[in-house]
Amino acid sequence: MDALHTRTLQQLDAAHHLHPFNDNGALAEQGTRILTRGQGCYVWDAEGHQLLDAFAGLWCVNIGYGRAELGHAAARQMQQLAYYNSFFQCTTEPTIQLAAKLAELAPGDLNHAFFTNSGSEANDTILRLVRHFWAVQDQPRKNIFIGRHDGYHGTTMAGASLGGMKGMHRQGGLPIPDIHHIDPPYGFGDGGELDPDDYGLLAARRLEAKILALGPERVAAFIGEPVMGAIGVYIPPRTYWPEIERICRRYDVLLVADEVICGFGRTGQWFGAQTYGFQPDVMTLAKGITSGYVPLGAAMFNDRVAGVLKAQGGELAHGCTYSGHPVCAAVALENLRILQHERIVEHARDGIAAYLAQRWAELGEHPLVGEARIVGLMGALELVPDKTRRDCFPDRGRVGALCRDIARRNGLILRATHDAMLLSPPLVISREQVDELFEKTWKSLGETAAAMGK
Ligand SMILES: *Cc1c(COP(=O)(O)O)cnc(C)c1O
């Protein structure tokens, strides 16, 4: 793209486009970066720079960019039947096939899909249908959801309320009523000198204390990301989720796993719940379900919840025009076919995860890095002022943003949350690309330290 055209587009963008999760005033001054092309693990920007996308778009491009098969699947379905709804006793073939495919892939008896356009809407769906599930069983007061401070469940009213991001709650009067939060499992910041297994139990038992404080007859469900993504890839100790599951069963609280990031291979198994050895009653899906090629979300319910909704739920007064959109379903099916046929999840786990973990641990040796943590293909580097301690930088977020911008100039996309550098590459990343990731990250850490005058 020539420089004049790029500049024109940036001016139009500044004049007419409000960006999510941006300071729009500052962005308009600075000019948006326009991405133009993607192939495999790389994207190119309007200036022609090639960037290694170690964040897979936004945790989603699991099969990598540029897979023509997904475009063909969309084109075929558009020509055959571009749209039909799933309201009024109807649906389409790809929608049915996708629901069946998800039931086959999802662990245990998570056999029932409700489709949405996004992860946020799937969580809205879960909030409504789970409350409805209890209400039709004569427990209308069992309506409280417990999430976690700093959790992320999307940006709709319910999604942002279930999430625990204070900055989000401040905009728009959130959280909505009957949503509570407990502290997350964050060993680096909160675990002190505790053994990780002990810390995992301690962090999980915060749920039990909260349920008892509210009264088990009030608590409908607990929702959590198997690995907390957006806040900075908080990897729980292995004791955490089994203990959460035990507590949920004990008080008959439904367990909702928000698998929007963890699902479809990110943690080395198809779902994060499998990596951590627990069985959710309800699961949120989006992102990797289509590798981000088209928007799609789903809420998966187990036999118990779906059974009650079918037997006693009456007409579900809920749904989106595009619930089960045939084009999105066709693309999802093709994405899942490729993931299975090319054994991408298994190759990522057995072929690349160990090597990536080894190189990530080497990055942990850098003087700026307080902790390098990783599970599967999802990791974080915690940047700290003093490697021997776990203190944060005083002006939280500045160093992370600096490192992110330097990495970008070095041809590497990493995300920064506060002062943690987050990693989530396409699952198809090769050993050579892991080496490139290492080199560019190490160089960027050094330049960050230099820019800070260290
Ligand atoms: C991205 C995300 C969501 C929201 O999905 P959208 O498609 O952006 O609405 C929900 N939960 C988690 C864990 C996410 O990472």
**255-260-266 Cα angle (round to 5):** 110
User: Do the domain assignments include residue 117?
Assistant: yes
User: Do the domain assignments include residue 27?
Assistant: no
Atom 10 (ligand 1) nearest CA: 153
- Residues 334 and 368 occupy one common structural domain: no
Contact 148 CB / ligand 1 (< 6 Å): no
User: Do the domain assignments include residue 366?
Assistant: yes
pLDDT at 354: 97
Task: Count helices and strands (H / E) in the chain.
Answer: 18, 15
Distance CA 383, CA 387 (A): 8
pLDDT at 99: 98
CA of 195 to the centre of ligand 1 (A): 31
- Residues 362 and 240 occupy one common structural domain: no
Contact 154 CB / ligand 1 (< 6 Å): yes
pLDDT < 50: residue spans in the chain? none
- Residues 269 and 381 occupy one common structural domain: no
- Residues 405 and 362 occupy one common structural domain: yes
- Residues 307 and 190 occupy one common structural domain: yes
pLDDT at 1: 85
Q: How many domains does the chain divide into?
A: 2
Closest alpha carbon to 32 in 50, 45, 49: 45
Sequence-separated (6 or more) residues with CB below 8 Å from residue 334: 69, 70, 72, 73
- Domain housing 203: 69-341
- Residues 151 and 139 occupy one common structural domain: yes
What number of CA atoms fall less than 13 Å from residue 186's CA on the CB side?
18
Residue 204 Cα distances to 159, 199, 285, angstroms: 22, 8, 23
Q: Do residues 47 and 6 lie in contact, with contact meaning Cβ atoms separated by under 8 Å?
A: yes
Token duo for residue 242: 């089994």
Q: Do residues 289 and 329 lie in contact, with contact meaning Cβ atoms separated by under 8 Å?
A: no
CA of 318 to the centre of ligand 1 (A): 20
CA of 157 to the centre of ligand 1 (A): 13
- Residues 365 and 256 occupy one common structural domain: no
User: Do the domain assignments include residue 28?
Assistant: no
- Residues 361 and 321 occupy one common structural domain: no
User: Do the domain assignments include residue 3?
Assistant: no
Report the CATH number that the domain containing residue 352 is assigned in CATH: 3.90.1150.10
CA of 432 to the centre of ligand 1 (A): 30
Token duo for residue 161: 């309320």
Q: Do residues 406 and 451 lie in contact, with contact meaning Cβ atoms separated by under 8 Å?
A: yes
Distance CA 129, CA 221 (A): 11
Contact 257 CB / ligand 1 (< 6 Å): no
Contact 323 CB / ligand 1 (< 6 Å): no
Report the CATH number that the domain containing residue 304 is assigned in CATH: 3.40.640.10
Contact 179 CB / ligand 1 (< 6 Å): no
Neighbours of 249 (CB within 10 A): 12
User: Do the domain assignments include residue 296?
Assistant: yes
- Residues 424 and 305 occupy one common structural domain: no
pLDDT at 360: 98
pLDDT at 84: 97
Helix axes 196-214, 240-250, angle to 10 degrees: 20
pLDDT at 75: 98
Q: Is 411 left (phi over 0), alpha (psi -120 to 50) or beta?
A: left
CA of 20 to the centre of ligand 1 (A): 13
Q: What is the pLDDT of residues 356-385, one digit of tens each?
A: 999 999 999 999 999 999 999 999 999 999
- Whole-prediction pTM value? 0.98
| Domain end (from 341, 362, 387) | 341
Q: What is the pLDDT of residues 282-336, one digit of tens each?
A: 999 999 999 999 999 999 999 999 999 999 999 999 999 999 999 999 999 999 9
